[in-house]
Structure 1
Amino acid sequence: MPPVDRICHLPDALLLRILSELPTAKDVVATMVLSKRWEPLWKSVSKLVYDDSYRNIDDVGRFTRFVDRSLILHEAPVETLHFKLTQKSLAVDIGVWIAIAVKCSVRDLVIDIDCPAILPRSLYRGSKMLVSLKLKSATLMDVSSLPSFLTLKTLSLVSVKYPGDEFVRQLLSSCHVLEDLVVEQCLHDNVTIFTVKVPSLKSALLHKSAGRSTEGEDGFVIDAPSLEYLDIFYNKVGFCVIENDMPNLVKADVVVSYSSPGVTLSSFTSAKRLFICLPNSKDAYSVGTVFHRLVHLRICTCETEWLNLLMRLLNDSPNLRHLKFQKCHEIEGTRPCWNDPSSVPECLSSSLETLEWVGYQGSKEEKEVATFILRTGSCLKKVTIITPKSSDSDKKLEMLRELSLSFRRSPTCQLVFD
């Protein structure tokens, strides 16, 4: 029996699942020529991806007609509808397609545009059924009042332009069950203070473009007490104010390459995992703050004061078990200064089990820090040192020899070089 005939004997539910995995709607519709069994199936596929760049589609009019016709002829509800548009002339059609999508009761809508496009107000009218909405490089229209997004749980806003600060505040406030939020602010998006006040929010990624040069205030204001994961990034300009505690926070990534009084780690005491890149150690968090739940700590070594921040966190994280150093950003500045502390942090003598150092170059300060941890880490089980691939072989051998001397004082610890 030919392969196509064998596939045809599969139940409809399985065939529809196979069709939903095809790259684009054009591929899905093309299966109708296989046999009479396949001819009507495409009309019941729950996922459609329209990509005008796929297979070098250069006839814009033909692509538009294909989208119009296939959406109108589709018979079953479309759960996922994805538009990948690169042709500027197609931007005017997106309003019609969104209107059709609303009638199809789409639950997951993705609009990815490589050229400026204004999304119509019909997008808001279809909010009652949406569970996931992902927008990229789009402009949102202003409305007198926003409807409630009663079922929206996932919202992604990448390089989106808005009517203003108040619109953003209203938009997020109307998402009563929102759990996952992704925001990547672009240049000239008409928003300076991005307010995230969502009681139901569990995960938030909030990034500002490195090229932003807004005058005055430019930052995030967060009021999300249910957050479990928070990722914050801004460079040169920006601030982040967290208005309420986050008792459920499990993981946080905080990358701030600018001296700002707005972000402090005092709001992150519930986190079990932290990744930190901060320019100042003194203002990182208030005196008396203790990170009782912190188990995994990763510190970026690009900032001048990373050693001071490290010692503060070691002293204030009594249950830390895993420590990682990694230079994630290239920032020119003075070399950090290391002074042997007068006392050993509690975590080094009672809980720290692993140390991983990515990009170890064997500088005087790095050697002193590594030696201190190897000498005082009573519970260490494994230390992994990863040197840059460009390191001179003789220099690398010398670095390893120096660390090995310290390692001999910790015979129960495994030292791994890479």
Structure 2
Amino acid sequence: MMNINCGGREETCILFDEQNGIDRMSSLPDDICKYILSFLSTREAVQTCILSKKWINTWASVSDLKFDINEFIDDDMEELELVENSEDMAVELVTKFELLVKSVLEKREISCVNTFQLWLDLGVFWPCTQVVPDCICDAMKLKPREFSVKLRSWENLNLNTDLIFTCASLIHLQLHLCSLHDRFVAMEPNSINLPCLKTLNLYGVIMSDDSLKKLLLGCHVLEELVLERFYIEGIIKICSNTLKMLVLCNDYDAMRLQISTPNLMFLVISMDTCEIMLLKMPELVCAFINIPGWCDQDIYLTMGPKLIHNLSNVKSLHLQLHCPKGKVQKKDFSNCPVFNNLKHLKLFMTPVFYIIEKSWGFYVFDLVPFFLHQSPELQELTLHGNRVVTEFVEEEATQEGPRDALVQREFLKTVIIVGCNNDNGFVDQLINKLLVHVKIIGEIIVDNLGDL
């Protein structure tokens, strides 16, 4: 039984009437059969072969092949890590999964597919064998347009990267790789030819700066690039005239970063870096910057102004700089332009811990008056704190400090304070500090339970 839309109204159609011996399933047009299968997982689509003779091989022509090991987790395997024979069960589960993937690809019609998805990731490491890499090679022969692989394996992952990075049909490519024995999975293809690729998402890979350069040169129309948990040997150089979105997220060693993307609209940098160079980005609309490693005052005062200068065109800015105790001086940002487009600003205030007093406090409030003065169109300011922080660090007043050098702003529409306790009147103290720099605040919203 299924619902069919007929001229704007839904009608129920009985596909198999056992009482009257009517089998409408076998008389459905091929296009309708394929349309029905498009709503099913690959595993479910294969199971339709028992419906009738016509459906024996219909599943082999579906345009989307999606394999997810979550489909194999039944009720008695939900607590897999807690049972005594969990390792044997894991081997059995993955073997079952691999056999399905291999069988489907062997019986699949030799024609192009729209999507190939293979997810073997449940948050723990699995006994993946060479069957999966072999299946990935077979899948590439089907010339997919969308290709998504997530693997978390006990063994070293031996992928044929040359075959993947020369698949000219690819439009979207995601490789999410994690091995128990390797910190990163090597990505050093000899040849790269991805003329149609628009989105690229790589997780858990290591490559040389030369390979990264060749990768970007081999993707002529790339619009979205996401690199997570990665390592680049040398300098990370992102040079592209086509990129519109760039996401760099890492929690490993500090690396040097150079970005030249004149058409970029969306930027995320959440990683430690000892050097960052951003060329002008006139089209940039939204930026999220989190750099935890600028504890050294010299690095902060050298790189901070340069970074902020190249973000001056944004409309929305999320900024998290773990800067040192030293105050931000007006002279340090004297060459920064006005943020004429900035309407939404979120500053993540960095907590610091005092061992002697055994308490938490904030150093970073100096950028607030700077942005209030340099952003004439600013409507909303969000200060994101930490619930364990209960006091401000009282800084020494200087004649060069922003508090004295910058004039008071007349009006700010909205101030949002997130994730701060009002213990010892901390939130009240924060609001009073803001009112030193803004005469009138239209609305103040306090969200003590907010998360990052």
| TM band (smaller chain) | 0.7 to 0.9
Q: Which residue of 1 aligns with 2:228?
A: 184
Verify: 1:230 aligned to 2:272, yes or no. no
Residues 96-115 of structure 1: matches in 2 within 5 Å? 96-115=134-153
Secondary structure in 1 matching 2:196:
coil
Q: Which residue of 1 aligns with 2:188?
A: 142
Structure 2, unaligned stretches of length 5 or more?
Answer: 3-12, 17-23, 74-89, 179-184, 352-361
Structure 1 window deviating more from structure 2 (260-269 vs 321-330): it is 321-330
Q: Which residue of 1 aligns with 2:101?
A: 67
Verify: 1:158 aligned to 2:203, yes or no. yes
Verify: 1:384 aligned to 2:445, yes or no. yes
Q: Is the 8 A contact 1:302 1:331 kept in 2?
A: no
Cα distance in 1 between the residues matched to 2:438 and 2:42: 58
Cα distance in 2 between the residues matched to 1:379 and 1:36: 76
Residues 393-404 of structure 1: matches in 2 within 5 Å? none
Structure 1 window deviating more from structure 2 (8-17 vs 167-176): it is 8-17
Change (3 A) 1:68 1:337: same
Q: Which residue of 1 aligns with 2:345?
A: 297
Q: Is the 8 A contact 1:227 1:246 kept in 2?
A: yes
Q: Which residue of 1 aligns with 2:173?
A: 133
Verify: 1:199 aligned to 2:241, yes or no. yes
Verify: 1:288 aligned to 2:326, yes or no. no
Task: Tell me by how many angstroms 1:345 deviates.
Answer: 5.1
**Identity level (%):** 23
Cα distance in 2 between the residues matched to 1:328 and 1:17: 50
Q: Which residue of 1 aligns with 2:8?
A: none
Q: Is the 8 A contact 1:78 1:105 kept in 2?
A: yes
Verify: 1:354 aligned to 2:414, yes or no. yes
Could you give the per-residue CA deviations for residues 218-237 of structure 1, whole angstroms, max 9, x where no partner exists? 23221111110101112xx4
Secondary structure in 2 matching 1:354:
strand
Aligned residue type for 1:42: W
Residues 15-414 of structure 1: matches in 2 within 5 Å? 16-22=34-40, 24-52=41-69, 54-56=71-73, 58=92, 60-75=94-109, 76-85=111-120, 90-115=128-153, 116-124=156-164, 126-137=166-177, 139-144=185-190, 146-162=191-207, 164-186=208-230, 189=231, 191-209=233-251, 212=252, 214=253, 218-234=255-271, 237-259=272-294, 260=299, 261-262=302-303, 264-280=307-323, 282=328, 286-289=333-336, 290-303=338-351, 304-327=362-385, 335=393, 337=395, 341-342=403-404, 348-350=409-411, 352-362=412-422, 363=424, 366-371=427-432, 373=434, 380-388=441-449
RMSD: 3.4
Task: Tell me by how many angstroms 1:169 deviates.
Answer: 2.2
Cα distance in 1 between the residues matched to 2:367 and 2:199: 35
Cα distance in 1 between the residues matched to 2:67 and 2:449: 43
Cα distance in 1 between the residues matched to 2:265 and 2:242: 11
User: What is the TM-score when the length of structure 1 is the normalising length?
Assistant: 0.77
Cα distance in 1 between the residues matched to 2:36 and 2:441: 50
Change (3 A) 1:345 1:227: farther
Aligned residue type for 2:314: A
Q: Is the 8 A contact 2:147 2:174 kept in 1?
A: yes
Change (3 A) 1:374 1:332: closer
Cα distance in 2 between the residues matched to 1:283 and 1:123: 53
Secondary structure in 1 matching 2:417:
strand
Q: Is the 8 A contact 1:200 1:224 kept in 2?
A: yes
Task: Tell me by how many angstroms 1:364 deviates.
Answer: 5.6
Aligned length: 375
Secondary structure in 2 matching 1:353:
strand
Cα distance in 2 between the residues matched to 1:193 and 1:151: 27
Cα distance in 1 between the residues matched to 2:420 and 2:391: 18
Cα distance in 2 between the residues matched to 1:184 and 1:154: 14
Q: Is the 8 A contact 1:85 1:114 kept in 2?
A: yes
Q: Which residue of 2 aligns with 1:5?
A: 15
Q: Is the 8 A contact 1:274 1:296 kept in 2?
A: yes
Could you give the per-residue CA deviations for residues 60-115 of structure 1, whole angstroms, max 9, x where no partner exists? 55543332231232235211111122576544223432332222110111111102
Q: Is the 8 A contact 1:180 1:201 kept in 2?
A: yes
Change (3 A) 1:316 1:364: farther
Q: Is the 8 A contact 1:302 1:329 kept in 2?
A: no
Structure 1 window deviating more from structure 2 (46-55 vs 333-342): it is 333-342
Cα distance in 1 between the residues matched to 2:232 and 2:108: 38
Q: Is the 8 A contact 1:302 1:330 kept in 2?
A: no
Q: Is the 8 A contact 1:165 1:190 kept in 2?
A: yes
Secondary structure in 1 matching 2:102:
helix
Task: Tell me by how many angstroms 1:265 deviates.
Answer: 1.1
